Structure 1
């Protein structure tokens, strides 16, 4: 049976951020923490060893696979900061046009530092993501 790897834990978000070696990245992580909490209204929780997540939703796929995931989140990784925001969509792509310097994957946006992006657009992306997942996976 499939075992979900990334689960919510009781680990301290602050202790995790304090382990970030790069001082600028650590500072950006604290600012992201403020932004995500302010926009979502959710307190930060650790998901697995390195993802800071906000809120959660329960998903169930047609295959029968199901689990829980944060609505939005981020991780200050060594190479780049990973922002866990909505899957590719027309609205996400439109928002990313003015976002600033980034690369992207299917459900991740990668940035080097906060100074490279427009934090107001980040807030819009967070709102869009929360709304998207709450509509896709309403509480049962």
Structure 2
């Protein structure tokens, strides 16, 4: 089985934000998200691969294949077109929270926002907490 490319590493998170984010707005929003995620999860930010900032981790095993590995509980990335928020687990109550989040687009496993002011940060906090709870209940705490 091939090893996952996206692994936790020791790259500097703030350096990454300043080098990777393509606007002052995205840098400011990313630094705010950094504080928000750390405050909510109590986990220190870690780089995962070249472009994901993750908080905490869990060990998963796919139910449909032999794939397994570690992945951040929650995280984000200041991508070129939008900030990707890796916070959605489809856990209980999350669909109702998503309806109150604000202006965003939804991907398969993440939420895309142009700027942080487009969404309700209190609702984001609830989504982050519910995802951490869901994943730790399903996979256990590491």
Normalised by the length of structure 1, the TM-score is 0.95
- Structure 2 residue 109 is the aligned partner of structure 1 residue 117: no
Unaligned 5+ runs, structure 2: none
Q: In the TM superposition, what are the counterparts of 1:1-80 in structure 2 within 5 Å?
A: 1-19=1-19, 20-62=21-63, 63-80=65-82
Q: Does the aligned pair in 2 maintain the 1:95–1:125 contact within 8 Å? A: yes
CA RMSD of aligned residues (A): 1.3
How much does 1:139 deviate? Answer: 4.0
CA offsets, 1:89-140, max 9 Å, x none?
Answer: 4521100111000011221001000010000001000000100100110148
How much does 1:83 deviate? Answer: 0.2
Normalised by the length of structure 2, the TM-score is 0.94
CA distance in 1, matches of 2:135, 2:49: 20
Q: Does the aligned pair in 1 maintain the 2:74–2:131 contact within 8 Å? A: yes
Q: Corresponding residue for 2:90? A: 88
How much does 1:61 deviate? Answer: 2.1
How much does 1:81 deviate? Answer: 0.3
Match of 2:106 among 101, 104, 107: 104
Unaligned 5+ runs, structure 1: none
CA distance in 2, matches of 1:122, 1:84: 11
